[in-house]
Structure 1
Amino acid sequence: MSVAGSSVSAPLALQTSPSPTAVLGTVGLLALFLSVTAHLAARNVLGDVAVVKALGVGIGPAIISTVTTLLSLPSVLGVGLALAVDAGAIYLLYRQPRRTTALITAIHAIVTVILGAVVGGAVILYLSAPA
């Protein structure tokens, strides 16, 4: 059997499972990003708020996002669950009425999408720039 024939019949691994360090790094960076956007949203609605509270808001959706991706669950389920956990964390940490909590959650989602698109676009532009 030739070398080319054996390589064609061998299974090809397209993706390996991520290391625990990569998963923790992803959750940590995403939680930090979501905490910054949560602080911006809460500050927009409530005025001056403690930064520490936003750190508690960011970790839940970050974990849900990573688990949804790792388990290949439908993204609609992950987004819905992340928004519910986000609203719950905002409700518990900021001690606001449900209507204010919904407003902060909506602004948090909008700010996250906008800032994520801007930062992601900037990174893509930087990486694709000619040397």
Structure 2
Amino acid sequence: MRKVFVACAFAVALAGCVAPVQKTANGEIPAARIYIKSMTEQTAGMSKVEFRRDTNFLYSREMLELAINDVVLAQIDGGEHLAIWLKPGRYVFTIKPVHTLNTPTGVKSGLLDLEVKPGADSQVQIVSNSTGISLQQGK
């Protein structure tokens, strides 16, 4: 019985060490979780790509890592959005859970191969469901 009590106390102590997720009032990702800030600045000749994460109950408590061509761009939480500016071309975006002690195992990560066209805006939805997390190009 004592071991169970010690294990519970240890779990509660670990849970207390986790910092609360910082949020913004307008739903944009806070600058502290954007790793390539220069991509968020509009520049001539660039096209806009906007990412929106749903607030679906499944995996909504998990922070997700958004990457472009295998380079981590930002961490995104449920209900947040991010706009970046890219040169026209083909890009591969991936989304996966940030690994923590609470990360569920076996979550299917998402991948989207996207053609960014000159002068055209692109919308990408980050959707979670019973099969995992996916990236879906909006219309």
Task: Give the structure-2-normalised TM-score.
Answer: 0.26
More helix by share: 1
More strand by share: 2
Task: Give the structure-1-normalised TM-score.
Answer: 0.27
